[in-house]
């Protein structure tokens, strides 16, 4: 889902490469969809497009415009279709969590334990079920989603520009993105990386200037230290930056021994 492009405040996660079986790219994301969404009468609709790709004419100007918009309003205007990317079709929690090949964050003793669970969903990366979504219903009716990705299990790499992470979760760099549509729908998305665990936490509401912002950060800070699914993993080499300041992912190897996976972790 991500390539060697600077971490986008409007993307679900940081730049990620699931080596070596496949590389996750942002090809489909970088390509603008040019869908137009509904808007109030007389107002120009917010376009569903991500703007120029890195290095393309107008990229720097577009980035600066979005950053100025975020500073001015505290949020970014997006189309309704953008928020649909964050909808998760949750399945029953117990069956989804059964035989999970990594230990997810233990929510017992955290504020999550007091929330109503609406289910979970897992995804594969590099043939491993290393990605987990868990949904919760807040007392005010909003839906909260906790996502975690055990990169030790599938050998993924992640890179995030330091200037894009001004927030802190237990001292770790973090990014908060708030997105509002012309119809009034909103989503607030918090993301950070702890060791080899990539976390994202989002709620379908605008937290700017509300107590929900502090609650979102408190929930994130309550998570215990992660336990790598592959404690003996040989971590991927640090990513190198290209001339444009964006990370350059190395090509995957031509062959892969069947008994190992990315990073040298034995297969489960």
Residue 78 has pLDDT above 50, yes or no: yes
Specify the residue for token string 């509002």.
180
- Could you give the percent of the chain with pLDDT greater than 70? 73
Residue 92 has pLDDT above 50, yes or no: yes
Alpha carbon distances (Å) from 210 to 167, 170, 206, 223: 17, 21, 8, 22
**In the chain, domain spans:** 15-221
**Tens digit of pLDDT for each residue in 122-148?**
999 988 999 999 999 999 999 999 999
pLDDT of residue 253: 57
Before 20, cis peptide (omega within 30)?
Answer: yes
Sequence-distant (6+) residues with CB within 8 A of 87 are none
* Residue 145, token pair as written in the block: 């989603």
Specify the residue for token string 């090509």.
251
- Of the chain, the end-to-end C-alpha distance in Å amounts to 24
* Residue 202, token pair as written in the block: 């989002």
Residue 32 has pLDDT above 70, yes or no: no
pLDDT of residue 135: 98
Alpha carbon distances (Å) from 169 to 28, 69, 172, 223: 30, 24, 5, 10
For residue 191, give the H/E element and its range.
strand 186-194
**Tens digit of pLDDT for each residue in 41-59?**
344 567 676 677 777 888 8
Sequence-distant (6+) residues with CB within 8 A of 257 are none
Alpha carbon distances (Å) from 255 to 9, 40, 102, 261, 262: 35, 54, 25, 11, 11
Contact present, 144 and 203 (Cβ < 8 Å): yes
Which whole number is the average pLDDT over 2-10? Answer: 35
pLDDT of residue 44: 59
pLDDT of residue 47: 64
- How large is the C-alpha radius of gyration of the chain? 19
Strands 172-181, 156-159: pairing is: unpaired
**Tens digit of pLDDT for each residue in 137-188?**
999 999 999 999 999 998 888 888 888 899 999 999 999 999 999 999 999 9
pLDDT of residue 55: 72
pLDDT of residue 265: 66
Which whole number is the average pLDDT over 29-46? Answer: 39
**Tens digit of pLDDT for each residue in 190-249?**
999 999 999 999 999 999 999 999 999 999 999 999 999 999 888 777 777 777 667 777
Specify the residue for token string 């062959």.
255
């Amino acid at each position: 889902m991500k390539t060697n492009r600077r971490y986008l405040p409007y993307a679900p996660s940081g730049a990620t490469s699931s080596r070596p079986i496949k590389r996750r790219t942002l090809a489909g994301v970088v390509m603008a969809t040019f869908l137009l969404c509904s808007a109030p009468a007389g107002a120009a609709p917010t376009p569903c497009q991500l703007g120029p790709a890195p290095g393309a004419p107008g990229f720097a100007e577009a980035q600066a415009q979005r950053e100025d918009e975020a500073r001015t309003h505290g949020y970014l205007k997006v189309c309704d279709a953008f928020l649909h990317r964050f909808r998760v079709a949750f399945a029953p929690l117990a069956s989804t969590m059964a035989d999970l090949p990594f230990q997810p964050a233990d929510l017992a003793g955290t504020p999550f334990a007091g929330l109503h669970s609406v289910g979970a969903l897992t995804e594969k990366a590099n043939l491993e079920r290393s990605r987990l979504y868990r949904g919760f219903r807040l007392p005010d009716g909003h839906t909260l989603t906790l996502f975690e990705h055990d990169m030790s299990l599938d050998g993924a790499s992640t890179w995030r520009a330091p200037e894009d992470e001004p927030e802190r979760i237990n001292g770790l760099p973090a990014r908060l993105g708030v997105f509002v549509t012309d119809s009034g729908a909103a989503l607030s998305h918090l993301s950070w990386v702890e060791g080899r665990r990539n976390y994202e936490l989002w709620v379908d509401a605008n937290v700017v200037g509300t107590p929900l912002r502090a609650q979102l950060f408190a929930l994130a800070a309550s998570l215990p230290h992660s336990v790598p699914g592959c404690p003996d993993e040989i971590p991927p080499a640090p990513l190198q930056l290209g001339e444009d300041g964006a990370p350059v992912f190395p090509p995957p190897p031509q062959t892969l021994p069947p008994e190992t996976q990315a990073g040298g972790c034995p297969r489960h």
